[in-house]
Amino acid sequence: MDRLFDCVVIGGGVIGTAVLDRLACYDLSALLLEKEDDVASFATRANSGIVHAGYDCEPNTLKAKFNVLGNPLMWRDAELLHVPCLKCGSIVVAREREQLDELVRKAEANGVEVEVLDRKRTLELEPNVADEVGFSLYAPSAGVISPYQLAIAYADRAALNGGEILLEAPVVGIARTSDGNFEVQTPKGTFKARIVINCAGAYGANVNDMAGAEHYETSYRRGDYFVLDNTERKNVNTVIFPLPTAAGKGILVAPTADGNVIYGPTANDTSLGDTATTLESLDELKRNVPLSYKRPAFNKCIRVYSGLRTIIGHDFVIGESEKVDNFFMAIGICSPGLTSAPAIAEFLTDGVAKRLGAARKQNVVAELEKPVRVKELDDVALNELIKKDSRFGRIVCRCEKVTEGEIVQAIHSPLPARTVDAVKRRTRAGMGRCQGGFCCTRVMEILSRELNIPLTEVKKGLGANIARYRIKEVNDD
């Protein structure tokens, strides 16, 4: 490709999409390269979805800085982008008051509002904490958000503001030209850029090595989860944490922004690519959840999954390479990376804009148009909508009450949903009790029709065809 981009962003998780979203507000050209067939397809889709307050971070670290800055930005972005979220607060439970002292110290140093509650006040907030809990640390600014819908919304807004996204484009090489620019090589072509920003998540160290930037030893930690049916949502009001350990914030019990409850994650050292849940990890969850929450309902589980955390030392790695000019990075972004994403994006974008002398655009899309979510409408509003478009009256996903109209809306969004999994992440079709058992084939038919492709070409995700061939011709007459 002969075109020269001002900036190429590598990686389409929540960090990369947030960076592209901010870059698109400036008078410069920006391209995001993602190796999967959709954004939010790796760590972001398997995130706990917690908006952390920032009391747990070691003071004077990048984690503390960007967590505290990112928390209010997250709530603002969620409102402007119409991303499902819930500012429900969080508690850390403990037997003794003294066990919370270190977290109180960190909270004060980081400027985070917290309050220590005795058992009586804890029960007023969260009636189902374990009987052994005597005290809790309450953080009102914490909550939950849909991590994959946030990343998708960042990508949508970036596209509307002129940012470009190329999917199924893994970076296989990075070269430097004689004029000082970069050539970023992918199977879909080579893309020239003045500046490269590495937001490649689990593959971040590999991308650094391709560019000749700093080498970082990387380790990976797998976390397994239970997802419970939405009937359990009434029993959990806040995010419930145990006391943190060296391995992380511990096994939590939390509502999700979409109405389910999750238990997890575990923290097992593993290798890149290992996202298979194990019986050992699930048994670990069964042993630990009751220590903080007295009414676990493992029999209401509708799905298990696992996510991968990428760890480089004890802190985030954010900023410009000292070895390669104009090569920026945001890697080793484990917890609280989701909460930190908008602040990290603004920090990197400010640096890039100053380097290139780019000014902010005069007119940008700040607020996305709210997508139709039928289950949020009352009968009057729903009937009016159906009169205008009958597709919003045809339920496809029974569990989550997702209609044909919502699926079509997702397929034709700024960053279109082109697979069954992409539709699922945007609409929740297939995320309910039956996990797509009833609606998958109907979603496939709608994708086939709207994309004008044969049913056999409809994919679940990258390289995962669902239908091999047609065994019976259907006469629609």
Task: Identify the domain containing residue 235 by its residue range.
Answer: 90-140+219-306
Q: Is residue 226 part of a domain?
A: yes
Q: Torsions phi, psi of 271, nearest 5?
A: -115, 165
How far apart CA 152 and CA 295 sit, in angstroms, is 34
Q: Is the dihedral angle over the CA atoms 339, 344, 345, 350 positive or is it negative?
A: positive
Q: Is residue 127 part of a domain?
A: yes
Is the previous residue joined to 336 through a cis bond, with omega within 30 degrees of 0? Answer: yes
Q: Structure tokens of 19?
A: 């960076």
Q: Is the dihedral angle over the CA atoms 469, 466, 446, 398 positive or is it negative?
A: positive
How far apart CA 418 and CA 457 sit, in angstroms, is 11
Specify whether 124 is located in the same domain as 157: no
**Between the CA atoms of 130, 135, 141 and 147, what dihedral angle is there, to the nearest 10 degrees?**
-30
Specify whether 253 is located in the same domain as 384: no
Q: What is the largest CA-CA distance in the chain?
A: 74
∠ at Cα 213 (211, 216), nearest 5°?
115
CATH classification of the domain holding 223:
3.30.9.10
Q: Is residue 109 part of a domain?
A: yes
How far apart CA 297 and CA 370 sit, in angstroms, is 34
Distances (CA, A) of 197 to 193, 233, 386: 10, 39, 45
pLDDT at 398: 95
∠ at Cα 464 (399, 373), nearest 5°?
30
pLDDT at 465: 83
Long-range CB contacts (< 8 A, 24+ apart) of 435-439?
435/302, 435/303, 436/397, 438/397, 438/398, 438/399, 439/396, 439/397, 439/398, 439/399, 439/402
Specify whether 16 is located in the same domain as 151: yes
Total count of domains within the chain: 3
How far apart CA 2 and CA 165 sit, in angstroms, is 17
Specify whether 135 is located in the same domain as 152: no
Enumerate the active-site residues.
Answer: 52
Q: Is residue 29 part of a domain?
A: yes
Specify whether 247 is located in the same domain as 135: yes
Closest C-alpha among 1, 62, 57, 58 to residue 29 = 1
Q: Is residue 474 part of a domain?
A: no
Q: Is residue 476 part of a domain?
A: no
CATH classification of the domain holding 160:
3.50.50.60
Specify whether 81 is located in the same domain as 95: no
Given a contact cutoff of 8 angstroms between Cβ atoms, the answer to whether 175 and 8 are in contact is no
CATH classification of the domain holding 432:
1.10.10.1100
How far apart CA 178 and CA 184 sit, in angstroms, is 14
Helix residue spans in 89-240 (DSSP H)? 101-110, 119-125, 147-160, 204-211
How far apart CA 425 and CA 152 sit, in angstroms, is 9
Specify whether 380 is located in the same domain as 453: yes
Q: For each of the chain's 477 residues, which pLDDT tens digit applies?
A: 568 999 999 999 999 999 999 999 999 999 999 999 999 999 999 999 999 999 999 999 999 999 999 999 999 999 999 999 999 999 999 999 999 999 999 999 999 999 999 999 999 999 999 999 999 999 999 999 999 999 999 999 999 999 999 999 999 999 999 999 999 999 999 999 999 999 999 999 999 999 999 999 999 999 999 999 999 999 999 999 999 987 778 999 999 999 999 999 999 999 998 889 999 999 999 999 999 999 999 999 999 999 999 999 999 999 999 999 999 999 999 999 999 999 999 999 999 999 999 999 999 999 999 999 999 999 999 999 999 999 999 999 999 999 999 999 999 999 999 999 999 999 999 999 999 999 999 999 999 999 999 999 999 988 788 887 777 765 554
Specify whether 81 is located in the same domain as 173: yes
Q: Of 260, 277, 306, at which residue does a domain stop?
A: 306
Closest C-alpha among 230, 160, 171, 165 to residue 200 = 171
Specify whether 20 is located in the same domain as 79: yes
